Structure 1
Amino acid sequence: MNYLEDLETAWQMRDDDPARIKVLEQAILGADMYNDIPNGIEARDMLIDTCLYVGFPKKQLQAFSWLVKKFEEDCPDVDGFDLLWKYKWIAEHVPMFDEVSKAQIDALLNDMKVKFEQRGYSLRPYYKVSTLGAMRMGDRAKAEAYFEQWQKAKSDYMNDCGACETNDVVHYHYFMEDYEQALKKAEPIVTGKQSCAEVPHLTYGFTVIAYFKTGDLEMAQQCFEKGYPLVEKKSSLIPPMASMIQYLNLSGQHEKAKDVIAINKETALASESGLDKLLFLQAAFPFFDAEVDKDLIQLTEELTAKFDARNENSYYSERLAK
């Protein structure tokens, strides 16, 4: 039973090692073949963790869906707390796929809400991921309504760490184009008082633009110089990478922008997330050549249309036109 060796090998690898995905997928195949439910659960738990770090959300969603099914079958080997903790990650990222409909997103969020209520947990995480989902779908009114509920809801041990909570609040104010408030909320992160695995990486993607928009060009450049090395060629950090390109364009650093696009293009285009790919393409769009890059131009326009059609608005079309 080589899959047990694969599982042992995976335990010895770093969570953020992309090679770990293939090893875990082999372990899952073997566990399923022998109907070894406990090790199938363990391998999928590890796969979800690794996909979070290295950026394979579809693989993550597939593994999670299998775990949810076992959970609903009252499988004693599924850790309910761990499953609901991971539910936050899944619910946050599912709007990033244009092939997932609004109805499917709403159903997933509602299922998360029901499961949290059944276990007696605060709905604060539900309101937060609903806010983030509305933002990714370009719905300002819904984002504002969910944000208010998020901020009012009580905290419990299902909450994310302080740095992640702060970053997501910064993200909301950035999305609402309240750049001064975004920078005010970002202060604990910018000064190094709060950090975690992906913070300040993500936060610099917001502050680099916010500082530029509020006229603090020196701080904007500092955010770029500190932030870009953290996100370069990182498939799980394409949105802040796209913001770095946008900043270089706004600040007139066009040759540097072209270099950053060239270095990160392969990573962005290989992403499973259609939205991550779109954010990169829209940031790079002003630098595309009508002849040389006609395929990329077409892809940008197609993805823009797909997300706007799914979201039933023109948010990404308007974003591209700016």
Structure 2
Amino acid sequence: MNQDLQALLQEAGTLPDGAAKLEVLEAAVRIADAEGELELAYDTRSDIVRTAIFNGFPLKAVVAFSWQLGQYDRHPELFDSYDLLWSYKWIVGEIAHFPDIPLQQIAALVEDLGKRYEAHGYSSRTYLYYRFRLAMDLGNMQEAETFMERFRQARRDYMSDCDACEQNQIVQYYAAAGDDLKALEAAKPILAGSMRCAEVPHITLAHLLLPLHRARSAEEAAKAHTRGYRLIKGKRDFIEAIARHIDYLAVTNPKKGIELFEQHVALTQQHEDPYQTMLFRLYSSKLLHRVAADGLKYQPRLPASFLAEHGEMDLEALARHLGRQATSAAEKYDLRNGNTIYSELAAAALSE
């Protein structure tokens, strides 16, 4: 093995998951490709996909996985199908977040996943579950409900997501549909701690903050905020969840919401997930409008990269700027999806 390549792989093994590790892995891949080390290049990309997906770099994951899928189809005897098919789910779960990817391509991807699972003898449950998730991402709530019922009836197998992940998505469905009581009912096993995983209850709690505030009590919602925020604070891959905490604080404690905004706005600079970035900007705009309306005179602390591009802004100017960015992104999603779901979401948030 090339000594530089070996040194990079050893270095990657010592680094925590995140941007620095991804840079080292990508450097290793470039050498492996140049040296014709096909299997090593494939395995290293597996590390890139896993690291990128769970650390807020979904575009890097999509690029690396696309290369892997092509190589697997050309040389199926060289590579393990289980690992590839498992990570395929992660890609399908992220793909609709990129508004420039056409609906036809997204549909073809999820159908390809379904055919590959069937060809390898797996249950239809995972395919149906990701059809459910995809319908939600595209704003097709009736279709999502249909696939939710279908996936729950299909048998579980080794390719299924964990119980907690599946239940979390059901909670998100009811929360998005505006049914607070059903969302809270579906969340019972998660809130009780009998269902949990690496991302649950982290994500679930963020979706339950306003339902708890509206349907239960301010005290219960505040406890969920404290618990949930502790799990996600400062983590690039939880920007959407952080955005939902900001949305909650815009209603309950706007001054505290500014603290969350200032602590995390730098993570959204050059973030690879435009959907998560859109929600962060949208709910931050809502928050800042409310604070400005209360008459607070405050100069937000913004990252140097933001100031270099846009200059200093007061609360109201910053709120308008973020609102325009969020609305523009929402329009791009709606144009691709063929509906007005995200524009309506943005308009509702910015009019409250």
- Report the TM-score when normalising by structure 2: 0.87
- Structure 1 partner of 2:241: 240
Aligned-pair CA distance for 1:268: 2.2
Aligned-pair CA distance for 1:147: 1.0
Asked whether the 8 Å contact 1:47–1:63 carries over to 2, the reply is yes
Instruction: Please tell me the root mean square deviation across aligned C-alpha atoms, in Å.
Output: 1.5
Change (3 A) 1:41 1:145: same
More divergent stretch after superposition (266-275 vs 54-63): 266-275
- Structure 2 partner of 1:320: 346
Matches within 5 A, 1:73-112: 73-112=74-113
1:168 aligns with 2:169: yes
Asked whether the 8 Å contact 1:41–1:77 carries over to 2, the reply is no
Matched positions, count: 320
Asked whether the 8 Å contact 1:52–1:60 carries over to 2, the reply is yes
What SS class does the counterpart of residue 58 from structure 1 fall into? helix
- Structure 2 partner of 1:31: 32
Aligned-pair CA distance for 1:293: 4.8
Q: Which runs of 5+ in 2 are unaligned?
A: 290-314
- Structure 1 partner of 2:334: 308
Cα-to-partner distance string for 1:83-130 (whole Å, 9 max, x where unaligned): 111111100110011111111110111111111111111111111111
Asked whether the 8 Å contact 2:284–2:322 carries over to 1, the reply is no
Aligned-pair CA distance for 1:202: 0.7
Matches within 5 A, 1:167-246: 167-246=168-247
CA distance in 2, matches of 1:212, 1:224: 10
Higher radius of gyration, 1 or 2: 2
- Structure 1 partner of 2:12: 10
- Structure 2 partner of 1:257: 257
CA distance in 1, matches of 2:210, 2:125: 28
In the alignment, which of 274, 292, 296 is matched to residue 322 of structure 2? 296
What SS class does the counterpart of residue 77 from structure 2 fall into? coil
Asked whether the 8 Å contact 1:205–1:244 carries over to 2, the reply is yes
CA distance in 1, matches of 2:35, 2:78: 16
Asked whether the 8 Å contact 1:92–1:130 carries over to 2, the reply is no
Aligned identity (percent) is 31
CA distance in 1, matches of 2:220, 2:248: 12
- Structure 2 partner of 1:283: 283
More divergent stretch after superposition (83-92 vs 67-76): 67-76
The amino acid of 1:21's aligned partner reads L
Aligned-pair CA distance for 1:245: 0.8
CA distance in 2, matches of 1:191, 1:93: 28
CA distance in 1, matches of 2:92, 2:121: 19
Cα-to-partner distance string for 1:57-77 (whole Å, 9 max, x where unaligned): 000000100111011113323
